[in-house]
Amino acid sequence: MATARLPRVGVVKLASCDGCQLTLLDLEDELVAIGQRFDLVEFPEATSRRSMGPFDVLLVEGSVSTPEQAEQIVDLRAQTKLLVTIGACATAGGIQALRNWSNEPEWRASVYPRPEEIESLATSTPVAEHVTVDAELRGCPIDPHQLLELLTALRVGRRPQLPDEAVCAECKRLGRICVLVASGTACLGPVTQVGCGALCPAYLRGCYACFGPRDAANTTSLATWLGGERSGVEVDRLFAGFTGYAPAFREASRRAVEVMQPAARRRRTKSKAT
């Protein structure tokens, strides 16, 4: 990409905590080099300089949660060549999508003293439900190595290496012992897209799927297995997390509540470990 003009890059947010944007600033060793190779024209966490495009590359953080954001994302799309969603909110709706299962006006009334002043959509939805998305970086927050790989691939002109495999593959390569098999800990690694470096199992915790479901994730089989030692409500809670609104996990939650709950007591040896 030896063009004279540097690619114009924007970083914007919708409904989100800003953690994914900060991942870019966390690339401390590469930040200067990135600044020399990309023209960061819009990045509120880093600069007060403002631009409304056009953008060669736009990193979009956050879900669409308000009427204003629903309009904003359409405008941004029109100004952008390559739109990349970053993080669990932008790619799956985020933790705030839990409200999609509830009565939004009731929630609003219970949280805010003057709910009539809050303008909010009934649902929190991923950006791809509103506009075409060219690439996505998953995670809560995103992984700095994947972000750097995306930027590098843009420079080199290759396809970014963002594998579509399970967390398990990386977990095993790192020599970590399976917490699901060896201690019965609920772990969503087998149905979750890799990218985090199998962080949670390294601390003997189960994966809670902040990178969201893999392509064609077999959540039904895993939910059935996990349901052998857990109630349907417990299984529902496992899937209804940071990326719970992603279709594969939404379906697993629904099944857990509607199908598994009545048959909660199953005939399988109870694990002594928890």
Partner 1 sequence: MVTAAGPAFLPRKRLDALLDLLREGGRTVIGPTIRDGMSVLDEIATVADLPAGWRDEQSPGRYRLSNGHGDRVFDIVNGQMSWKQFTFPPRQKVGEVNRSASSGGVSFLPSPPDPDRLAFLGVRACELAALGIHDRVLAGGTFVDEDFRARRDAALVVAVQCTRSASGCFCTSMGTGPEVRTGHDLVLTELDDGFVVDAGSPAGERLLARLPGRLATPGEEAAASAAVAATRAAIGDPVATDGLRDRLMDQLDSPRWAQVADRCLACTNCTMVCPTCFCTSTSISSDLDGTVNVTERVWDSCFNPGFAKVAGGNFRPKREDRYRQWLTHKFATWIDQFGTSGCVGCGRCVTWCPVGIDVREELAAIAPPALPVERAFIRPAAATPGRFEITTLRASHPETADTATLTLVPTEPVLLAGLPGQFVMVDMPGFPAFPISVSRYGIDHLLLTVRGAGPATAALLDTPVGGEVGLRGPLGQGWPVDRALGRDVVIVAGGIGLAPLRPLIDVLLAERARFGKILLAYGARTPADRLFISELTTWADRGIEVLQIVDRSGPGWAGHVGVVTNLLDQRDFASRPTVAFVCGPERMMQATTSVLRDRGISPERLFVSLERHMQCGIGLCGHCQMGPFFVCRNGPVFTLTELGDLFTRDGV
Q: Residues interacting with partner 1, by CB under 8 A?
A: 30, 33-34, 37, 151-152, 155-159, 161, 163-166, 168-169, 172-175, 177-178, 180-184, 187, 189-191, 204, 214-218, 220-222, 224-225, 269, 271-273
Q: Which is nearer to partner 1, 77 or 249 (CB)?
A: 249
3-class SS of residue 127: helix
Nearer to partner 1, 119 or 203 (CB): 203
- We find the least distance from the C-beta atom of residue 33 to partner 1, in angstroms, to be 5
- The answer to whether 64 and 85 have CB atoms below 8 angstroms apart is no
| Nearest CB to partner 1, comparing residues 132 and 269 | 269
In the complex, what is the shortest distance from the CB of residue 221 to partner 1, in angstroms, rounded to a whole number? 5
**Minimum distance, C-beta of residue 148 to partner 1, in the bound complex (Å):** 8
Angle of helix 219-226 versus helix 247-255 axis, rounded to 10: 40
Q: How far is the CB of 93 from partner 1 (least distance, A)?
A: 23
* Contacts (Cβ under 8 Å, ≥6 apart) of 111: none
Instruction: Characterize 60-92 residue by residue with b for buried, 16 or more Cβ atoms within 10 angstroms of its Cβ, and e for exposed.
Output: bbbbbbbeebbebbeebbeebebbbbbbbbbbb
SS3 content of the chain, % helix, strand, coil (to 5): 45, 15, 45
Which residue's CB is nearer to partner 1, number 103 or number 161?
Answer: 161
Return the half-sphere exposure (C-beta side, CA atoms, 13 A cut-off) of residue 122: 4
- Compare residues 49 and 158 and give the one whose CB is closer to partner 1: 158
Q: How far is the CB of 146 from partner 1 (least distance, A)?
A: 12
